[in-house]
Amino acid sequence: MARDPMELLGAEDKDNILGGVFEAAQKDVKPISADLEARILMQAAQVQAGFAHERRANGILIRLQRIWAELGGWPVAAGLATATVAGLGLGIASPPALDAVWSGVGLTSASLDGDFPDYDAFFEEI
């Protein structure tokens, strides 16, 4: 019965066999084809263009954030919103509710009507 060839070899022989083929493989690095290089570089250019776009978008965002901060940021926006709501509330409120305010300065809402120009006639002419 034939013996297993592995049994016939010493550790040094085995290492020599593998060492030789591994050494050959380490040197077996060929240059890539022009086609592959072109494909890789085309994708690299596309990815880089995306980075440039992101940088521009980030730049605009940073500038807007800076302007926002210079205007006072959220505290100012909150104050402005409060004033807007308050003004809207006063505008919607019925004039009699304001009489108490006007009476304090000697006026009434009715007396104000006559002191301001009336545009009704203007719209009628048009």
Partner 1 sequence: MPDPEVFSDDALLLRFARGDGQAAALLTQRLAPRCVAFATRMLNGDRAEAEDVTQEAMLRLWRHAPKWDANGSARPGTWLLKVAGNLCIDRLRRARALNIDAVAAPADPAPGALAKLEASERLVALDAALAKLPDRQRQAVVLRHIEGWSNPEIATVMEISVEAAESLIGRGKRALTQALVPRREELSDG
Residue 30 makes contact with partner 1 by CB under 8 A = yes
Q: Which is nearer to partner 1, 17 or 69 (CB)?
A: 17
Q: Which residues contact 11 (CB under 8 A, 6 or more apart)?
A: none
* Residue burial 9-43, b: 16+ Cβ < 10 Å; e: rest: eeeeeeeeeeeeeeeeeeeeeeeeeeeeeeeeeee
Please tell me whether residue 97 binds partner 1 under the rule CB under 8 A. Answer: no
Residue 24 or 60 having the CB closest to partner 1: 24
Q: Is 13 in the site for partner 1 (CB under 8 A)?
A: yes
The one-letter amino acid code at 95 reads: P
Looking at residues 37 to 66 of the shown chain, list those that interact with partner 1 (rule: CB under 8 A): 37, 39-41, 43-45, 47-48, 51-52
Q: In the complex, which residues of this chain contact partner 1 (CB under 8 A)?
A: 5-6, 9, 13-14, 16-18, 20-22, 24-26, 28-33, 36-37, 39-41, 43-45, 47-48, 51-52
